[in-house]
Structure 1
């Protein structure tokens, strides 16, 4: 998943030019009941009233999105009927609507789900609609493609980096790790009493796979061969961290929000987590921390992190509605809108120039911006086959860390499950 869905609360930033207009325009949004509305698709109604759906259920996204939508709706001359659906119900609902050709005009979906929805034929090709991807990161563009056509584009993305407690590192005379050997040594040295050296999420879902993929891909492994020596090397790293006590055995039950709680409580000296945690971390003035890229196995390697975040899609309806919806998406992808959305929501802009400007103004985001250039779309190797393989990999992580299975055997079993 992208945010993986428990978001931290964000204090509202100072008003920027256009914010008041955005707030006023946001008043035009009609809020539908969460998960209970009819969710009428793009084929119903006049072209000046568009439907939109997403799964955001917590701040800052669920508060910032209506404002950005309202601003772009006002510029386009439309009203937008908004619907928020619980994450577990979201894709089943969209797939059902796709089969009936009643998809909403606009949907903000987790990027790994894009290909599955595009395969139904219910989405408008944004490539054919003339939407330009100039200036966007190529990896982000790829995340929204299916069979050579662009069906979704992210206004911003997120990823994973390594957070570290600067006070603890200073006291121990350590520098933040850049390699796996340094990560292992630092985690061991910083483990003391109830405090573990490092924390990560190894829960048995896409969330755990998402956290493991930076190590998996940076080692040179491929989702097409879950039992490769490179994959074994990555899972061995995690198993050794847990087995030595440098990471808690509870990582198999922790979500990314739980990991953040452990780090803030001083129970972990380092953690793997995303930029969406920054507002909560920064609110604790007693906590001093830094952020660096994910450590690499050795010289010459570069961190390869999974792209998190959602993509905007347009559902098939009629020419007039589709044109209006595409115009709204173009607005949402604009330089200023992308930068504002990313800053408010804890994301990295898809626009490379906006991302560079954000990193320059906020050094805490520099590591995340560095990694976007080498990040990987989760569906890039397997397309619509990704969800099945992701779950097989999550099961292997659980088997190795909680079940006592060797990394070799756990990954061999995962490869067999993925093949069947």
Structure 2
């Protein structure tokens, strides 16, 4: 999850992926390729990200004696583009999937085990290894990861004589006190897209809720907490329509004193030198609870094309792009947290103002860890529940319907 305005992702069914990948991609490459030119498809359409990736690919290409071309498409189109290319037997050598989409392609047999290509995971925390794995097989190498944190306006809290909240009660009380005039105490995204689901998971997971039981009491309590913030007037009623980019816009405009957001907003936040912001871990239900957020980011994968020589070289390219040195460079540019532990240690020293984010990453979880390719059905069900509950329906009824919808959507899909 990153970027300014993320279009809604099209959720592609596992059945469709399975037919296209197993029936097309695995039959071999139909087109002749230049033996010294390799293609990476990613979602780096933002000018800065595209440039950073191009520079990294140029360095790795020089090191490996090949040319690496970058093909960037909007994030919402990566999966559908990869499927079209699979059907025409023209898959790129490397695809950078959002980690929540990778299991769908892996389940269909479309990806190569990166360990079999020589990639090691010794210096990567197990949670991040799991983030790039499906059923214990390591398919996706993360260069950096991200999660959510509580951003706050230092001046607003200081003027009100308030401390940074650490628990749900403190957050609710602080948000109430900071709400005045056109300014809301808190901004978050509860929109009908993956942005909203991403933002709900810290409240669901930190409260002991689980994506396998959306109508469980702990999940209901988490959604009721969102409803309470809305009923207090601490959240704008427009929150049901906001993306994470919209939330950042509201915070920067002075229309919110705090927000839930991620490090991809830091570059934009720093353009306003009059805004004095800080970050903290997302408040938890009770003092002493772990603040468990979602791991976000993308992973580099090697599609199974049938050309084992090219797959081996593609693996070396992934190893270079996801190596310690390149990870640190990428993370310092993008404000994300390096996946490699050694690189992350240096990163903490270089950007101490984001130290709380690294602490949040340490407890973060992958959205697909439990459900794998079944996650998209849960995501869609939760999106509908937010819209329903925050506009009047009870959380219990909205989530009961969500559980029924998710179960129906995952019927026939193995967890």
If the length of structure 2 is used for normalisation, what is the TM-score? 0.90
Match of 2:390 in 1: 401
2:289 equivalent to 1:301? yes
2:169 equivalent to 1:170? no
Moved over 4 A (4+): 40-43
Match of 1:377 in 2: 366
Question: CA–CA distance in 1 between the matches of 2:171 and 2:60?
Answer: 45
More deviation, 63-72/376-385: 63-72
Which runs of 5 or more structure 1 residues have no equivalent in the other structure?
8-39
Question: CA–CA distance in 2 between the matches of 1:100 and 1:116?
Answer: 19
When residues 296 and 44 of structure 1 are mapped into structure 2, their CA distance, relative to the original with a 3 A threshold, is farther
Question: CA–CA distance in 1 between the matches of 2:398 and 2:105?
Answer: 31
Contact persistence 1:252–1:401 (CA under 8 A): yes
SS at match of 1:60: helix
Q: How far 1:108 moved relative to its partner?
A: 0.9
Question: CA–CA distance in 1 between the matches of 2:329 and 2:30?
Answer: 27
2:141 equivalent to 1:153? yes
SS at match of 2:115: coil
Question: CA–CA distance in 2 between the matches of 1:367 and 1:378?
Answer: 21
Question: CA–CA distance in 1 between the matches of 2:185 and 2:362?
Answer: 28
Once the two structures are superposed, the pairs formed by residues 348-387 of structure 1 within 5 Å of their partners are: 348-387=337-376
Question: CA–CA distance in 2 between the matches of 1:47 and 1:139?
Answer: 36
2:34 equivalent to 1:46? yes
Contact persistence 1:101–1:122 (CA under 8 A): no
Q: How far 1:99 moved relative to its partner?
A: 4.8
Match of 2:411 in 1: none
Contact persistence 2:186–2:234 (CA under 8 A): yes
Question: CA–CA distance in 2 between the matches of 1:280 and 1:391?
Answer: 29
Encode CA deviations 1:69-113: one digit per residue, 9 max, x unaligned.
111111111112221122332211212333555321011110001
Match of 1:388 in 2: 377
Contact persistence 1:126–1:152 (CA under 8 A): yes
Contact persistence 2:331–2:338 (CA under 8 A): yes
Question: CA–CA distance in 2 between the matches of 1:362 and 1:42?
Answer: 47
SS at match of 2:185: strand
Question: CA–CA distance in 2 between the matches of 1:221 and 1:116?
Answer: 24
SS at match of 2:155: helix
Q: How far 1:131 moved relative to its partner?
A: 0.7
1:112 to 85, 100, 103: 100
Match of 1:313 in 2: 301
SS at match of 1:268: coil
Match of 2:115 in 1: 127
Match of 2:233 in 1: 245
Question: CA–CA distance in 2 between the matches of 1:302 and 1:147?
Answer: 26
Q: How far 1:280 moved relative to its partner?
A: 1.4
Question: CA–CA distance in 2 between the matches of 1:352 and 1:101?
Answer: 37
Contact persistence 2:42–2:96 (CA under 8 A): yes
RMSD (Å) for aligned C-alpha atoms? 1.6
2:253 equivalent to 1:265? yes
SS at match of 1:417: helix
Match of 1:324 in 2: 313
2:82 equivalent to 1:94? yes
Q: Aligned residues, how many?
A: 386
Which runs of 5 or more structure 2 residues have no equivalent in the other structure?
7-27, 409-415
More deviation, 191-200/77-86: 77-86
Encode CA deviations 1:24-83: one digit per residue, 9 max, x unaligned.
xxxxxxxxxxxxxxxx97963133211111122214312211111111111111112221
1:228 to 216, 226, 229: 216
Question: CA–CA distance in 2 between the matches of 1:261 and 1:41?
Answer: 45
If the length of structure 1 is used for normalisation, what is the TM-score? 0.89
Contact persistence 2:123–2:341 (CA under 8 A): yes
Once the two structures are superposed, the pairs formed by residues 19-98 of structure 1 within 5 Å of their partners are: 44-98=32-86
Question: CA–CA distance in 2 between the matches of 1:396 and 1:256?
Answer: 18
Encode CA deviations 1:260-310: one digit per residue, 9 max, x unaligned.
111011100000000111111122110011100010100231111111110
